[in-house]
Amino acid sequence: MEQDIISSGYDAVYGSTAKSPTLRRLWHKYAEGLDFPEEFSHISLTTLPELQRISAELRLSADETFVDLGCGMAGPALWVARETGAQLIGVDLSRVATEQASARAAELGLAEQAQFVVGSFTDTGLEANVAAGLMSEDAIQYAPDKRAAMVEAARILRRGGRFVFTVYELDPDRAAGLPILGADLVDDYRPLLADAGFRVETYEETPGWPEPMTTTYSALLDEKEALTEEMGEAAAGALIVELSLTLEHRPYRRRVLIVATRE
């Protein structure tokens, strides 16, 4: 039931994001960076150098399959698919996101290389050992049970495969009581990964953190009126509340890039 509420919230986000040129323009300028290819746009803080790093760390070859957990519209994952030639399976709770991701794969000429399924971090619906690599960008902090999410990731990733992801560590003092983020306050993913059968190779903070987030969110809050006009009151209102709450409460301790191998 709670997941239904979260997925309809994300359906609304994805339905309205496409309608707002202001959101897209500011996200591109401050979060993605001006060098990020716009046809692979996203709603995370993934930059082009970081995406190049993620792609390299996955060590995929063209005959392999990789999975993106919480793929959203799948811009970053489709970029990796194009770079490596590997087959992509994108998983997201939002049906609207997976539909947009499928449409985008077709537009980019990558339809044969990509499929998208509705599923959650703890129940992807995928077969065991289906993936040679796993990626995820700025999504797993929303998992209501992160330990179970790591166990599911280990189940679908074959031995020796790499799980490369960015995620926010939650600050237990600041995120407690906040909707969604307050549900499972993990401030260090390493013990969970180790318990689920991963060897952690890399665990690094995003350089310059939290500047990319605060700059992006502040720029958006300065354009409240344009966002409301373009997205409608309900969707813009929900976005504005989330941005303001994040800047005010600072629930994220750090944003980290993690590389872990399935043992």
Ligand X SMILES: C[S@@+](CC[C@H](N)C(=O)[O-])C[C@H]1O[C@@H](n2cnc3c(N)ncnc32)[C@H](O)[C@@H]1O
List of residues contacting ligand X (CB under 6 A): 6, 10, 42-44, 46, 70-72, 76, 92-94, 97, 120-121, 137-139, 142-143
| Residue closest to ligand X (Cβ) | 72
Q: How far is the CB of 13 from ligand X (least distance, A)?
A: 8
Are 72 and 118 a contacting pair, CB within 8 Å?
no
Which is closer to ligand X, CB of 57 or CB of 138?
A: 138
Nearer to ligand X, 86 or 143 (CB): 143
Residue among 90 and 199 whose Cβ is closer to ligand X? 90
Kindly state the smallest distance separating residue 142's Cβ from ligand X, in Å: 4
Q: How far is the CB of 49 from ligand X (least distance, A)?
A: 15
Of 193 and 239, the one with the shorter C-beta distance to ligand X is 239
Identity of the residue, 37 or 160, whose beta carbon is nearer to ligand X in the bound complex? 37
In the bound complex, what is the minimum distance in angstroms from residue 198's beta carbon to ligand X?
19
Least distance to ligand X from the beta carbon of 246, Å?
12
Smaller CB distance to ligand X: residue 40 or 198? 40
Residues 85, 202: Cα–Cα separation, whole Å: 25
Least distance between ligand X and beta carbon 202 (Å): 19
Half-sphere exposure of 13 (CA within 13 A, CB side): 21
Burial of 255 (0-12, 13-18, 19+ CB in 10 A): buried
